[in-house]
Amino acid sequence: MSLVDYRRKRSFDRTREPEPGKSLPRGRRAIFVVQLHHASSRHYDFRLQIGDALKSWAVPKGPSYDPSVKRMAIEVEDHPLDYADFEGEIPKGEYGGGHVARFDHGVWSTDGDAEAQLAKGHLRFELFGDRLRGSWHLVRSGKPARQPQWLLFKDRDAYAGTLEADDLLADVAAPLPTRRRKDWAKKALALSGAKRGKAPTGPFEAQLAKLGESPPKGEQWLHELKWDGYRILATIADGRVRLWSRNALEWTDRIPEIRDAIAGLRLESGALDGELIAGRGSKEDFNLLQATLSGERQGTLALALFDLLHIDGVDVAAAPLIERKALLQALLEGVPGHLAYSSHIESDGDAAFKLASDTHFEGIISKRLDRPYHGGRSDDWRKTKLLASDEFAVVGYTAPKGSRTGFGSLLLARPDPEHGWLYAGRVGSGFNDALMAEVTTMLGKKGRKTPTVHVPAMDTDLRSATWFAPRFVVEVFYRGIGRQQLLRQPSLKSVRRDKDIADLADSDAAPATGPAKMPAKSKPKPAAKTAAKTTRSRREPPRLSSPTKILFPDIRATKQDVFDYCSAVMDHLLPEIIGRPLSIIRCPSGTAKACFFQKHHTAGLELVSSVRLKEESGGSGEYLVVEDEASLLELVQFNSLEFHPWGSHAAKPDIADRVVFDLDPGPDVPFAEVKQAARDIRKLLTQMELQSFLRVTGGKGLHVVVPLNPGCDWDLTRRFAHGFADTLANTEPDRFVATATKSRRNRRIFIDYLRNGRGATAVASYSLRARDRAPVAMPITWESLGKLKRADAFTIRDVPATLKRRRKDPWAGIDRIKQNLARWAET
């Protein structure tokens, strides 16, 4: 669209209005904005982004929520995208002189081509703003006029009402669709294995499928269409909806139509799993989805929901899938708009696969209908594709030939257990002009002429190619694997903006194989015989991808910095976690974005071992176990920042060898009082003939740690810790509290004894914390406590040097102390 008229009507040396071309936002949803303009005549300016400009109309009385009220909308010149942020005075005497204030803004969508609809004279669209929501119409008037005239009016949908634009200026709440609340908790508790519990407030670990050659057989399977979109996890806590990508990036504000649709379910708490799609969600619609998310199109988005883990205070993740889906279907019954139920076919996988083929879907997902939901990849979910596709890292490019500009083809690589990264071939087809321009920018200008990955055989074009470390992820269609393990007839499917290089380690299948077989992936070994201590292994640590990724933005600390820190403190950190069931906190996009907690092993981990342990739910899970330096650094490669081990070893998971009292201060508790509390607890433990050690948590508090040797069973350990904490709280109620309720912690210290139960964890000594400044959980001597200023005094920047200067380990001999709780068993 031309901005010639906009530029012609303005003198940019006299007005603050943005000049076209100064800064053009890209990579975001198509926006709308409504501005209240006090010019010679008061009116509302209504603007929709189409392409690289804002299509604009002047609406004298503003939009109305009453479908029977049709407001005149006079078409005016297109405006630059930057105008959406403009507010303030246009000088008198200038075109449009007067005050401009933003009334509302957000994103918008429409079914079909927006420009084609405008050309025909009728645009149907949806708005997702703070004040304007729901479906609307713009219809061109047949009356002759100097400027084209349109009618703007509301569709008869769930948002329709009697509100006018001026009503909303007076802080009147925008309308919301209403839905009668139901007793979902009662229905959920009727499911097998359901129990009361809290919903996750952050992203949970998604269940993933393994790739198969054909649909599995048997009545124990159900089969769904494989939606071609982006995985989205939804959580609801206290009525607040949050949306997450599979790699824990928050998408709540990026897809407001999905957020509002889930809010319309009127749940107090919940956890749902689904796929974000455009159109029907078929192969042909994936490009529409990407174009909509990048602002090139205005497609209608929906979330195809296929699983329900929690609803209104009830955890149903342990229930059989078929029961969870029935409850999900009931929840979505009669819900209009942007939520869809992912239906299925039971038993007959061949029929489902044929349906996917006939309707142009990518394939099917087959799921065990009798199994619970669990994070990670397993054989309970299987993926069968019609046309092979996989994700690869871009590691370089060849020069363009002929009339082509930017690059000729992209060089691809896959993770490989022997070489780190193995060259997989190159892709040069499947690009349109816009994608060529975008990818050219992503390639950058830096590179080298020698390969950065293992290349089995160099052809002539590769000798002049530009190479770099794995930089971003693409998904590629191909028709098999040829010699040298190279892709046959590859064609670009998409640039996976939702994936990180590290995600490629967790593939849905082993690396594709051709005539020559690649080395098999090593499987995690049971850790039941792991020793308590070990030296650094001779296994090679994983090659670090994305080393310049910023993980701690406040101090600009990178993934390489975290890797270097863990390597530097390895002799101190490794003994704290080796051989113990382990939970980790991963931050794929750094601490400024969403992080998530993981305790189960996933198939992408090649060096980290696992141990199968019983869980409170009655089932069992494969828990992470670090055995050497290489396996710890593999977790760093997976963007792990915090390490939280059990208080027992994998070889003896039912025997506790440590008691941890976590001193967690409430608001306004000075750190000096926390220090005095630690001293008092030490004194009490000494009176009980129990020696204790001290650790700063890297957060707000301190840990007082009591070693047990030989250990004690968890029941005794928990009873002892609980009784000790209760005694303190009852003796000095003004100082201590032994309940986790935050409202009771004001000016008091919570003695957290809950670290002392089977499956509970505490942060390891020398572990980083996913907080500002990258603080470290650090063991200290009791004598140094007086000089300590704060619990996060030690950081990634200073701990390695501190350890080099330190003459003695403050926890020296902790594992040789002979003490236990046997004498307190009957107390």
Residue position matching structure tokens 């942007």: 338
For residues 266 and 233, give the distance between their C-alpha atoms in angstroms, rounded to a whole number.
17
For residues 790 and 400, give the distance between their C-alpha atoms in angstroms, rounded to a whole number.
58
Residue 780 vs residues 641, 694, 697, 706, 783: alpha-carbon distances, Å: 21, 6, 11, 14, 8
Using pLDDT thresholds of 50, 70 and 90, give the confidence band for residue 510. very low
Say if residue 18's pLDDT is above 80. Answer: yes
The three-state secondary structure class of 273 is strand
- Superfamily of structural domain 389-505: Nucleic acid-binding proteins (2.40.50.140)
Task: Yes or no: say if 443 and 407 are a contact pair by the CB < 8 Å rule.
Answer: yes
Using pLDDT thresholds of 50, 70 and 90, give the confidence band for residue 744. low
Question: What is the pLDDT averaged over residues 325-343?
Answer: 93
Task: Yes or no: say if 479 and 489 are a contact pair by the CB < 8 Å rule.
Answer: yes
Segment holding 311, helix H or strand E: strand 301-311
Task: Yes or no: say if 792 and 778 are a contact pair by the CB < 8 Å rule.
Answer: no
Q: Count the Cβ atoms, other than its own, within 10 Å of residue 537.
A: 15
Task: Yes or no: say if 595 and 248 are a contact pair by the CB < 8 Å rule.
Answer: yes
Enumerate the domain spans of the chain.
Answer: 4-169, 184-385, 389-505, 550-645, 655-760+769-824
Burial bucket for residue 816 (CB in 10 Å: 0-12, 13-18, 19+): exposed
For residue 58, what are its two tokens?
């002047």
The residues with which 775 forms a beta bridge, in sequence order, are: 795
**DSSP state string for 102-146:** EEEEEEEE-SS-HHHHHHHTEEEEEEEESS-EEEEEEEE--S--S
Look at phi and psi of residue 351 and say left if phi exceeds 0, alpha if psi is from -120 to 50, else beta: alpha
Residues listed for the chain: 827
Peptide bond just before 710 cis, omega within 30 deg: yes
Task: Yes or no: say if 621 and 599 are a contact pair by the CB < 8 Å rule.
Answer: yes
Q: Of the spans 420-424, 490-494, 791-795, which averages the highest pLDDT?
A: 791-795
Per-residue pLDDT tens digits for 121-130: 999 999 999 9
Using pLDDT thresholds of 50, 70 and 90, give the confidence band for residue 643. very high
More confident residue, 618 or 558: 558
For residues 507 and 606, give the distance between their C-alpha atoms in angstroms, rounded to a whole number.
12
226 is catalytic: yes
For residues 232 and 306, give the distance between their C-alpha atoms in angstroms, rounded to a whole number.
11
Say if residue 527's pLDDT is above 80. Answer: no
State the pLDDT at residue 824: 66
For residues 194 and 319, give the distance between their C-alpha atoms in angstroms, rounded to a whole number.
6
Task: Spot the catalytic one: 226, 493, 549, 559.
Answer: 226
State the pLDDT at residue 622: 84
Residue position matching structure tokens 């796929």: 275
Per-residue pLDDT tens digits for 72-94: 999 999 999 999 999 999 999 99
- Superfamily of structural domain 655-760+769-824: DNA primase, PRIM domain (3.90.920.10)
Residue position matching structure tokens 């009334």: 103
Q: What is the dihedral of CA 725, 728, 734, 740, to 10 degrees?
A: 0
Measured in whole angstroms, how far is the alpha carbon of residue 102 from the centre of its chain?
31
CATH class of this structure's domain 184-385:
alpha beta
Burial bucket for residue 632 (CB in 10 Å: 0-12, 13-18, 19+): buried
User: Fold match between 184-385 and 389-505?
Assistant: no
For residues 118 and 554, give the distance between their C-alpha atoms in angstroms, rounded to a whole number.
47
State the pLDDT at residue 670: 93
More confident residue, 508 or 485: 485
- Single-letter code of the amino acid located at 168: L
For residue 115, which of 55, 189, 202, 43 has the smallest C-alpha distance? 55
CA dihedral for 192, 193, 198, 199, sign (positive or negative): negative
Say if residue 502's pLDDT is above 60. Answer: yes
For residues 305 and 243, give the distance between their C-alpha atoms in angstroms, rounded to a whole number.
13
Proportion of the chain above pLDDT 70, given as a percent: 93
Query: Phi/psi at 376 (nearest 5 deg)?
Result: 95, 175
Task: Yes or no: say if 366 and 349 are a contact pair by the CB < 8 Å rule.
Answer: yes
Using pLDDT thresholds of 50, 70 and 90, give the confidence band for residue 416. confident
Per-residue pLDDT tens digits for 245-276: 988 888 999 999 999 999 999 999 999 999 99
Question: What is the pLDDT averaged over residues 198-223?
Answer: 92
Per-residue pLDDT tens digits for 30-83: 999 999 999 999 999 999 999 889 999 999 999 999 999 999 999 999 999 999
Q: Count the Cβ atoms, other than its own, within 10 Å of residue 94.
A: 15
Give the side-chain half-sphere CA count within 13 A for 559.
23
For residue 811, what are its two tokens?
């926890």
- Pairing verdict, β 609-614 and 620-625: antiparallel
Per-residue pLDDT tens digits for 281-330: 987 788 899 889 988 899 999 999 999 999 999 999 999 999 999 999 99
For residues 467 and 448, give the distance between their C-alpha atoms in angstroms, rounded to a whole number.
5
Say if residue 623's pLDDT is above 60. Answer: yes
State the pLDDT at residue 512: 35
State the pLDDT at residue 621: 78
Q: What is the dihedral of CA 716, 717, 722, 727, to 10 degrees?
A: 90
The residues with which 76 forms a beta bridge, in sequence order, are: 56
